[in-house]
A and B are shown apart, each in its own frame.
Chain A
Amino acid sequence: MDQASMEALYRTYGSMVLRRARTLLGDEHAAQDMVQEVFMKAIRAFPSFRGESSLTTWLYQVTTNHCLNAIRDGARRRRALERRMPAHEPVAESAEDRVGVDELLQQLPRELAEVAIYYYVDQMNQDEIAALLGISERTVRNRLRDFRDKARSKLTDPGSEEAAG
């Protein structure tokens, strides 16, 4: 991909990727790094992109997957930090802000977290999610129901997943 195409890609889709990364990661620096990573993938894949889905749709999926990876990697890191640091030291500037959202996205099964992101963050219909993920609407409904059940049990018993897992 030449420089002009890369610029066009950034200018057309960059804000969308950045907005979603900010929402999902809750951290400006991490979100900016995420934009680079998503576009690295886009730059590589662009020559073979056949337009079977829209580029917007594809970038939504790439961003979601990479952000979930980063959030889950962040959970592992924080656990390591908590072991290494005295209890009174904060492990991350935004740790308190992130606990609720991160815990849900880290600890619940990935396929549930993914569907929840599209439904609650991106405000997508169940049929849009089904088309995006290549699954049936019934599966989307079931995953949303499972997400709600598990999220509810997390809120009432925050240690349940860790104790079980």
Chain B
Amino acid sequence: MRAIDFSRQQRDEACLSDLALDRLVAGEPADAAATHAAGCARCAERLAELRRAKEADAPLLDQIMRRQASVVPLRRRVWLSAMLPLVAAAAVFLFLLPRFLHPGMSEREKGSSTLALDVVVKHSDGKVEALGPHGRVRAGDAIRFLVSAPRAGHLVILGLDAAGQVSVYVADGDDAHRVERGAKQAMPGSIVLDATPGAERLVALECEARFPVAEAVDAGRRSLESAANDPRRVGTLGLPGCLETSLTMDKSQ
């Protein structure tokens, strides 16, 4: 997938580095580089290559951006930024967590007819574990979701917290996230928990038809209000035709 030649540089000494070319692609002031690129076939070719890559990556980057914007609400984004060193170390780690915790999890669970939600938490001290019911987490811990779905459909995972907030953790922009039938499917992205203390109810909803996230958020908000903002007392959200599962975690600062 990648090849880095650590034995020599690939460009002529007179040519521009990728940094200089990336500055041109970004439209930053770089007159000398622009002049060079205009008169150097090799740099012009590399510049065109980077511009083509930028065009080609645009749809994927839109998806990544939407995922970031929808999965991480603003107040959590702020906290996420503050906790960035923890997040950085977690990225590749969390990608491989399913194998780490459940070596056989790529196999489908046969006969299961219920939606199941597993939460893997990486504590800020680096310890990784599966979160049990009423599991304890702290601000700054990173969590990731594994979903076992008995059918293909569309899924949203919400967090209903003790401050009366409903956060969207898994979705695809304004719509639910497409999932396939299968066990322990890792959902995109990871969440670093903010400093809101107390219980938080994590609710997964899977419907056969695509549905707007707002519908699930409204149902979550109603359910939380009817439980006097106590996540432990929240009942099912009850979207028609949808499978639902939840678990509660207890968060301290």
Contact = CB atoms under 8 A, between A and B. Distances in A.
Contacts of A56: 19, 22-23, 26, 28
Given A12-B27, A16-B25, A18-B57, A27 B92 contact: yes
Interface in A10-28: 10-16, 18-19, 22-28
A47 B159 CA distance: 29
Q: How many of chain B's residues touch chain A, expressed as a range?
A: 35 or more
Given A104-B6, A124-B17, A10 B27 contact: no
Interface class of chain A by DSSP: helix
A25, A33, A45 pick with most chain B CB within 10 angstroms: A33
Contacts, number: 177
Contacts of A84: 100
Given A6-B69, A81-B100, A123-B9, A27 B95 contact: yes
A29 B95 contact: yes
Given A40-B87, A119-B9, A81 B2 contact: no
A60 B72 CA distance: 24
A40 B95 contact: no
A92 B92 CA distance: 11
Interface string B15-32: 101111011011110000
B152 interface: no
A58 B103 CA distance: 39
B54 interface: yes
A89 interface: yes
B92 A40 contact: no
Nearest to A32: B64
Contacts of A43: 77, 81
A63 to B, nearest CB: 10
A44 interface: yes
Judged by DSSP, the binding face of B is helix
A130 interface: no
A122 B64 contact: no
Contacts of A55: 26, 28
Contacts of B9: 119-120, 123
Contacts of A81: 96, 99-100
Interface in A42-101: 43-45, 54-57, 60, 65-66, 69-71, 73-74, 77, 80-81, 84-85, 89, 91-92, 94, 97-98, 101
Interface string B66-92: 011100100001101110110111111
